[in-house]
Structure 1
Amino acid sequence: MDLGIRGRKAIVCASSKGLGKGCAIALAEAGCDLAVNGRNALVLAETAKQLRDFGVSVTEIVGDVSDHGCQRELLGVFAEPDILVNNNGGPPRRDFRELDRDAILAGVTQNMVTPIELTKAVLDGMAARGFGRIVNITSLSVYVPIPGLDLSSGARAGLTSFMAGVARTVASRNVTINNLLPGKLDTDRLRGAFKADVDEAEQKVRLAADIPAKRLGTAEEFGKICAFLCSAHAGYLTGQNIPVDGGLYISAF
């Protein structure tokens, strides 16, 4: 399917690896020029090299997307960005009793304030031009609380509620805002919790046991879903939370 976004300008945050990279690859395949971002310059450069193989323009912005300087650089790549994919690393797993005020504020900044700031910067321009796609990568933990990830869950839930109202204000201008909620996907973040003394394949099987799809998801298929939400065909889909979890979240509605 031609997604109808060839030549569009896309900003993809935290896209040097993992789910962000999956989204960047899918958008590059669809013909979008890209501004990509990551903290590790070498990893980001390798990702940018892969993306350029699709024949699109790729600009690398090294840094923490929560830093205002990094945000200004990202937003300065394109005068008129068409697509924004908000993504950022979440706080590490930690008992909430161990969180002090600084840690809480840092987590909220990463996973709520930063995407709001970037959305605010691009939204009016998108509305004025009559096209815009914003996708926030949140987490299935917004629906299914995970002990130890309370800060991440709370910040992303706050973002979800905030964007729910904003999405309705620009829908008539062909600007959409949707959220993708990854479940158990085969990424560095998930593998980082693996036990060093247990076979990795065995641990993946155990993790997949309670997933109806009986496997972990991939960054590639996650990226394809993101690209569709950014496509010309998804203009009537907005303000939605879409779990990408192999059926793990059980709900009829």
Structure 2
Amino acid sequence: MDLGLEGKKAIVCASSRGLGRGCAEALAEAGCEIVLNGRNEAVLAETQAAIETAYGASVTRVAADVSTREGQEALLAACPRPDILINNNGGPPRKDYSELDRAAMLDGAIQNFITPVELIQAVAPGMKERGFGRIVNITSLSVRMPIEGLDLSSGARAGLTAFLAGVCRQLAPHGITINNLLPGKMDTDRLKGGFERAAQQTGKSVDHVRTAQAAEIPARRFGTAEEFGQTCAFLCSRQAGYITGQNILMDGGLFPSAF
């Protein structure tokens, strides 16, 4: 399917690996010019080279922390007029709510709520002028289904979801859509770290933990960055111009809900 994205400019935050990289690859495949972002220059350079080789895409890399004002300015300097913005950022580390202090809570809010809003504020005017814009926020299944120890991440991302529920309707008349992708258990480094932590806590092998967790998912497997990225690319397509304000679960059926 031609997604109608040839020549579109896309900023993909936190895209040197994992789900962000999956989104960058899918958008590059669809013909977009990509601005990659990450904090590890070496990993970022490797991702850039891989995407350029695989898809022949124009790729710019920006090594920066997107949560900082300086990082955001660097991204926007590399791509002042993006057609597509993929908001993504690492979440706060797993920690019981009783152990969170004010500084940790503020950091979590900046990472997963304030930063995406600031970037949307920066790119929306240009999108309105051109009559086209696609914004996809990578949030989490935990917005819908609380996960112990991820309360700060869940709260910040749920706040972003509620905040943008009104904003997306303000921007819809201008050809701009805002949607959220909610990943469940995806086969990424973050998930593997969770296997290792669970193995240490239970005394079971990492393979045992992995198998047991996969068995809890109706699809009986973990999601991939590739299929996540392809879904993101579709939400950015011309065909998805009538989809806005939606929360798309990608969890293999893990969250039990009829609506």
Name 1:6's counterpart in structure 2.
6
**Residues 200 and 31 of structure 1, relative CA distance in 2, 3 Å threshold:** farther
Find the counterpart in structure 1 of residue 209 from structure 2.
203
Is the 1:22–1:220 Cα contact (8 Å) retained in structure 2?
yes
User: Take 2:169 and 2:236, find their aligned partners in 1: how far apart are those partners?
Assistant: 17
Instruction: Tell me, in whole angstroms, the C-alpha distance in 1 between the residues paired with 2:210 and 2:247.
Output: 26
Q: Distance in 2 between matches of 1:220 and 1:204?
A: 20
CA distance in 2, matches of 1:227, 1:46: 22
Q: In 1, are the aligned partners of 2:64 and 2:74 still within 8 Å (CA)?
A: no
In the alignment, is the contact (CA less than 8 A) between 1:6 and 1:32 conserved in 2? yes
State the match for 1:228 in structure 2.
Answer: 234
Match of 2:150 in 1: 149
What CA distance in whole angstroms lies between the structure 1 residues aligned with 2:206 and 2:11?
33
Counterpart amino acid of residue 144 in structure 2: Y
Tell me by how many angstroms 1:230 deviates.
0.6
Query: How far does residue 79 in structure 1 lie from its aligned partner after superposition?
Result: 3.0
Q: How much does 1:241 deviate?
A: 0.4
What are the Cα deviations for residues 202-253 of structure 1, in whole angstroms up to 9, with x where unaligned?
A: 3222111121101000011000000000111100000000100001111111
Which residue of structure 2 aligns with residue 105 of structure 1? 106
Backbone CA RMSD of aligned residues: 1.1
Superposition TM-score, scaled by structure 1 size: 0.98
Question: Match of 1:88?
Answer: 89
Distance in structure 2 (CA, Å) of the matches to 1:82 and 1:135: 12
Task: Tell me, yes or no, if the aligned pair for 1:23 and 1:227 is still in contact at 8 Å.
Answer: yes
Letter in 1 for 2:193: G
Q: Residue 47 of structure 1 aligns with which residue?
A: 47
Paired positions, count: 253
Where in structure 2 are there 5+ consecutive unaligned residues? none
Report if the CA contact (8 A) 2:26-2:226 is conserved. yes
Q: Work out whether 1:62 is the aligned partner of 2:63.
A: yes
* 2:32 pairs with 1:32: yes
The answer to whether the aligner puts 1:168 opposite 2:174 as a matched pair is no
Percentage of matched positions with identical amino acids: 63
